[in-house]
């Protein structure tokens, strides 16, 4: 990835945002396998073409700084900090790698530190974090460790103390800890998931960009199309439904069939990750198809 500096920020800032990471053939990280094979392959094929401005990497720098402070803190005799591991994947010719922030052999717990928005804690959508810890445990077990627990310690960078005191459901502290215990069936799931992912990437590596299988809706952070029932003169919807038929039915029930004073708005769905969080979106065939479709409207 090439880093630009449109704001002419100081060189130390640029250096902090610059990574010297190089891809190794056949080896994919835990972060890679939690995403789509399309994204993982495009990152490798177009590594020298991807650009990002240093000003847009401020939160990455913030996260790195937090990890550095915690890494420098003293660990106990049973703990390992910031260790890189690699193990053969369950598909010949491939390997899985990962860097866990902390592992405590006394409790079998792998810990990952996160810096994130408070909305992550409000919505409570931790499944990707759980899978990440599970795959770290899978890696650790391949190296003989009895890793069977995972936890994420998340620092909420935009936490508001006043809201914490007054709003129900708002996190009370600027840090949250989420924990899981992994069973043998969870490890079986991890093994099956890795087999499926690496077999898919093995196939996708042989096809050109335009023929790559798109990432799944979950991986694209897809928001579906909706139909909003809106009172005339207002912007906020009275009800948002998943189909036009449901919207018409709700409106008829609410107005005794007259539909007076209301109208129905179609709200087009979106792929949030594709729109602003994927570094290789410009090379993605799925993203290109959406852009072409918009141009024809």
Return the number of other C-beta atoms located less than 10 Å from residue 147's C-beta: 26
Burial label, 1 (beta-carbon count in 10 A; 0-12, 13-18, 19+): middle
Per-chain mean pLDDT for the chain: 92
Report the C-alpha dihedral over residues 136, 140, 146, 148, rounded to 10 degrees: 10
Domain boundaries, the chain: 59-207, 222-296
Question: For residues 263 and 274, what is the distance between their CA atoms, to the nearest angstrom?
Answer: 31
Whole-angstrom distance between the N-terminal and C-terminal Cα of the chain?
34
8 Å CB contact between 181 and 148: yes
pTM for this model (two decimals): 0.87
- Model pLDDT for residues 16-63, shown as the tens digit of each residue: 888 878 899 999 999 999 999 999 999 999 998 988 899 998 888 888
The pLDDT-based confidence of 294 (bands split at 50, 70, 90) is low
- Model pLDDT for residues 225-253, shown as the tens digit of each residue: 999 999 998 888 999 999 999 999 999 99
Q: What are the start-end ranges of the E strands in 132-182?
A: 149-156, 175-181
Higher pLDDT, 74 or 182: 182
Question: For residues 121 and 178, what is the distance between their CA atoms, to the nearest angstrom?
Answer: 10
Name the token pair of 156: 């909420």
What's the length of the chain? 297
pLDDT reported for residue 295: 55
- Model pLDDT for residues 82-97, shown as the tens digit of each residue: 889 999 999 999 999 9
8 Å CB contact between 104 and 140: no
Burial label, 271 (beta-carbon count in 10 A; 0-12, 13-18, 19+): buried
CATH fold of the domain at 59-207:
Lambda Exonuclease; Chain A (3.90.320)
pLDDT reported for residue 13: 87
Q: Among 66, 50, 51, 65, which Cα is nearest to 12's?
A: 65
pLDDT reported for residue 109: 98
DSSP 179-230: EEE--HHHHHHHHHHHHHHHHHHHHHTTS-GGGPPPPPTTTTTEE--EEEEE
pLDDT reported for residue 1: 78
Question: For residues 200 and 194, what is the distance between their CA atoms, to the nearest angstrom?
Answer: 10
């Amino acid at each position: 990835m090439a880093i630009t500096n449109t704001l002419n920020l100081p060189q130390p800032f640029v250096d902090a945002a610059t990574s010297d990471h190089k891809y190794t053939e056949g080896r994919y990280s835990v972060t890679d396998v939690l995403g789509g094979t399309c994204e993982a392959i495009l990152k490798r094929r177009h590594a020298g073409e991807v650009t990002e401005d240093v000003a847009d990497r401020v939160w990455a720098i913030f996260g790195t700084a937090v990890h550095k402070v915690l890494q420098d803190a003293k660990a106990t005799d049973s703990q390992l900090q910031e260790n890189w591991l690699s193990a053969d994947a369950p598909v010949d010719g491939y390997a899985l790698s990962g860097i866990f922030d902390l592992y405590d052999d006394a409790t079998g717990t792998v810990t990952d530190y996160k810096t994130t928005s408070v909305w992550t804690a409000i919505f409570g959508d931790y499944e990707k974090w759980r899978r990440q810890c599970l795959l770290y445990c899978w890696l650790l077990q391949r190296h003989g460790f009895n890793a069977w627990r995972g936890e994420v310690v998340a620092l909420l960078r935009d936490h508001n103390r006043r809201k914490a005191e007054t709003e129900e459901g708002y996190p009370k502290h600027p840090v949250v800890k989420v924990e899981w215990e992994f069973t043998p069936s969870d490890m079986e799931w991890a093994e099956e998931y890795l087999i499926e992912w690496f077999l898919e990437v093995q196939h996708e590596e042989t096809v050109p960009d335009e023929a790559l299988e798109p990432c799944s809706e979950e991986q694209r952070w897809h928001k579906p199309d909706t139909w909003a029932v809106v009172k005339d003169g207002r912007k906020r919807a009275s009800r948002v439904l998943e189909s036009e038929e449901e919207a018409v039915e709700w409106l008829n029930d609410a107005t005794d069939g007259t539909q007076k004073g209301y109208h129905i708005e179609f709200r087009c769905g979106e792929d949030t990750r594709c729109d602003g969080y994927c570094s290789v979106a410009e090379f993605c065939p799925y993203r290109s198809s959406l852009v072409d479709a918009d141009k024809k409207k």
